[in-house]
Amino acid sequence: MWKRHKKNVDNDETDKGLSELLKLVIYLNPYRLYFYSALVCLFLTAALSLAFPYLMGILIGGSMGGGDSIADPKSVEENINRVALILVTVLAVQAFVAYWRIRWFAFAGESALADIRKAAYGKLVRLPMSYFSERRVGELCSRISADLTLIRDTLILTVPQIIRQSVMLVGGISFIAWASPKLTMVMMLCVPIVVILMGIFGRGIRVQTREAQDELAASNVVVEESLHGIASVKAFTNEDYEVSRYSESLKGFVNLTLSASKARALFVSFIIFALFGVITFVVWYGAGMLEREEIDAAKFTQFVLFSIFVGAALGSFPDILSQLHKAVGATVRVREILSEEPEEAHNDNQLSRLRGEVEFSDVSFSYPSRKDIEVLRGINLSVEAGERVAIVGSSGAGKSTLFQLLMRFYDPSSGELKFDGQNAANYSLSDLRDQMAIVPQDVLLFGGSIRDNIAYGCPEAEEVDIIEAAQKANAHGFIQSFPEGYQTIVGDRGVKLSGGQRQRIAIARAILADPAILLLDEATSSLDSESERLVHEALESLMSKRTSIIIAHRLATVRGADRILVLRDGRFIESGTHEELSCKKGGVYKMLSELQFN
């Protein structure tokens, strides 16, 4: 019962996978002229391949003088030369057509794959943050790289092979049935056995292949994590540990692939033995028919050659089906990404410029992956346009979560978030985020130049604006000290810059964005005293005209805030200026202030 249920599940998954694979064919539409031209060339080369054994039979039969393979010849030699010339011509035409077949299939397949890659990546970056909180980066990278490579191989290699071998199989069987029904019956005795075994082996190979791809994705996650955290790996001298962890993750993949290859090896070996064993038997049986003059030499030769073609076509199907099964599994995973619902980045309510008013009205929030833990509880906060508000609290109090709600990475579980008196959901996501800039404590820079990283805040900015933003962030000096200046490559995640330098680049990026609302996560925490002073001067000027919300870890940075709020366990428990809170007996802020300043 269980086995029958498992079989039905496998069949359903295969049907689903094939259906999903067919849905990707739509990406071939822009290149259908090339694809259809390649298909025509494919059928033509297959037909020319079928002409080879036919002409070869005439050639050999004519040289043996058998049957009517050469009608009214002037001489055996002349007819042999004539047929040989036709054969060479056929081969030349086939080679020419095959050249364009391969080129056009490659162009259509690679172009379609590039479109699929762009669609998958475009969908990924537009998915909500909740999607990424439930998945690992290495797994997603594997989908974009390894799985799409399998799909490319299917479009360029496997699909043409299926069509070609099917044409060869149907054409070959049709000819041998016409040439000698008696010999055909003898040869076809093994076909039902082969088909049944192909189904049995194919199902097992398909399951093992899918599991192997999942194991490979898991091992890619280990590589992704260790390389992203390479500094920590080296700092703790854990190179051997990471290699061991990767080796362990590869064991499952290797074992599954070896098991699948063992099944394929057994299958292919059986197919070779069965098919060519039958061909040998047919040749032996046909030789007797030839001796009894039940078949002429030309047709017998053609029958043998076509039988070899049929056997080769059948023998190629196990590998073809194996590749198809891999592509089916890969397609399901890629289609899962493509079918996800993206964030609604745009709506009809166009936003010109926010004044900068922010209001949290009885907002509570739990992360989708941890719905049982309430991170924010009944938050009420009203920030006026141009006001500077600082939020302090211990780690895990919910400070960063407030920023994520403001950027609408997540929506409140309950309550309402408003901007300029309007519910945040009424605004276009892209318009709303364009009005805000965030400077995180842990700055991530992209692997391009310093200029590109600053311009990320406003890609269309002029060079003079980029330099001015860098000057305000006290970054211009150290940038100019590099030989390449603003064209200096920062390396992966900005590894070529110090922590303070990365922080100032992020501040320059925020300054260039010219936002209505600034979100600063202790933006000066990595700067030396002199740089911190200069950046504070720039931020003072910048924040005076904008709503600024600051997450503070060091209380010295928020003394000048218009209002300071203390967050504990997801609730605001204190509110006031630095002077007011510092005088509050038994207050949390007073305690933190005494700990830091004393």
pLDDT at 38: 92
Residues 387 and 287 in one domain: no
Do the domain assignments include residue 353?
no
Domain end position, chosen among 339, 366, 395: 339
Residues 231 and 380 in one domain: no
Domain end position, chosen among 339, 368, 399: 339
Mean pLDDT calculated for residue range 196-215: 66
Residue 480 to residue 486: CA distance in whole angstroms: 7
Residues 122 and 43 in one domain: yes
Residues 316 and 243 in one domain: yes
Backbone angles phi, psi at 383, to 5 degrees: -115, 125
pLDDT at 40: 93
pLDDT at 68: 45
* Proportion of the chain above pLDDT 90, given as a percent: 12
Residues 309 and 406 in one domain: no
Do the domain assignments include residue 95?
yes
Query: Is the pLDDT at 172 greater than 80, yes or no?
Result: yes
Query: Is the pLDDT at 120 greater than 80, yes or no?
Result: yes
For residue 416, name the pLDDT band (cuts at 50, 70, 90).
Answer: very high
Per-residue DSSP letters for 83-141?
HHHHHHHHHHHHHHHHHHHHHHHHHHHHHHHHHHHHHHHHHHHTS-HHHHHTS-HHHHH
* Proportion of the chain above pLDDT 70, given as a percent: 83
Mean pLDDT check: name the lowest of 163-167, 288-292, 523-527: 523-527
Domain end position, chosen among 339, 366, 386: 339
Entry field: residues in the chain: 598
Do the domain assignments include residue 1?
no
* Secondary structure letter of residue 411 according to DSSP: -
Residue 383 to residue 387: CA distance in whole angstroms: 6
Residues 234 and 381 in one domain: no
Do the domain assignments include residue 479?
yes
Mean pLDDT calculated for residue range 40-49: 90
Query: Is the pLDDT at 587 greater than 90, yes or no?
Result: no
Residue 371, classed as helix, strand or coil, is coil
* Secondary structure letter of residue 489 according to DSSP: B
Query: Is the pLDDT at 67 greater than 50, yes or no?
Result: no
CATH code of the domain covering residue 170: 1.20.1560.10
pLDDT at 15: 56
And the tokens for 57? Answer: 């039979």
pLDDT at 517: 92
**E strand or H helix at 589:** helix 588-597
Domain housing 436: 358-597
Residue 160, classed as helix, strand or coil, is helix
Question: Residue 21: how many CB atoms within 10 A of its CB?
Answer: 21
Binning the chain into helix, strand and coil, the percentages to the nearest 5 are 70, 10, 20
Residues 320 and 409 in one domain: no
For residue 288, name the pLDDT band (cuts at 50, 70, 90).
Answer: confident
The answer to whether 309 and 64 have CB atoms below 8 angstroms apart is no
Do the domain assignments include residue 170?
yes
Residues 308 and 453 in one domain: no
Residue 77 to residue 147: CA distance in whole angstroms: 56
Do the domain assignments include residue 6?
no
Residues 139 and 184 in one domain: yes
CA proximity to 516, closest of 545, 476, 553: 545
CATH code of the domain covering residue 580: 3.40.50.300
And the tokens for 148? Answer: 């799409």
Do the domain assignments include residue 11?
no
Q: How many domains does the chain have?
A: 2
Residues 118 and 244 in one domain: yes
Does residue 522 or residue 340 have the better pLDDT?
A: 340
Residues 333 and 381 in one domain: no
The answer to whether 552 and 522 have CB atoms below 8 angstroms apart is yes
Residues 258 and 378 in one domain: no
Question: Residue 345: how many CB atoms within 10 A of its CB?
Answer: 12
Mean pLDDT calculated for residue range 145-168: 84
Question: Residue 245: how many CB atoms within 10 A of its CB?
Answer: 16
- Mean pLDDT for all residues in the chain: 80
* Secondary structure letter of residue 511 according to DSSP: H
Residue 464 to residue 471: CA distance in whole angstroms: 11
Torsion of CA 352, 356, 360, 364, to 10 degrees: 70
Pairing type for strands 376-383 and 358-365 reads antiparallel
Residue 595 to residue 598: CA distance in whole angstroms: 6
Mean pLDDT calculated for residue range 174-202: 72
Residues linked to residue 449 through DSSP beta bridges, in sequence order: 489
**E strand or H helix at 213:** helix 191-228
The pLDDT tens digits of the residues spanning 536-562 come to 776 776 777 789 999 877 776 777 788
Which residues lie closer than 8 Å to 432 by C-beta, 6 or more apart? Answer: 351, 354, 408, 419, 424
Query: Is the pLDDT at 74 greater than 90, yes or no?
Result: no
pLDDT at 37: 93
The pLDDT tens digits of the residues spanning 477-514 come to 889 999 999 999 988 777 788 777 888 888 888 888 88
pLDDT at 71: 47
Per-residue DSSP letters for 291-348?
HTTSS-HHHHHHHHHHHHHHHHHHHHHHHHHHHHHHHHHHHHHHHHHHTSPPP----S
Mean pLDDT calculated for residue range 48-69: 70
Do the domain assignments include residue 490?
yes
pLDDT at 33: 93
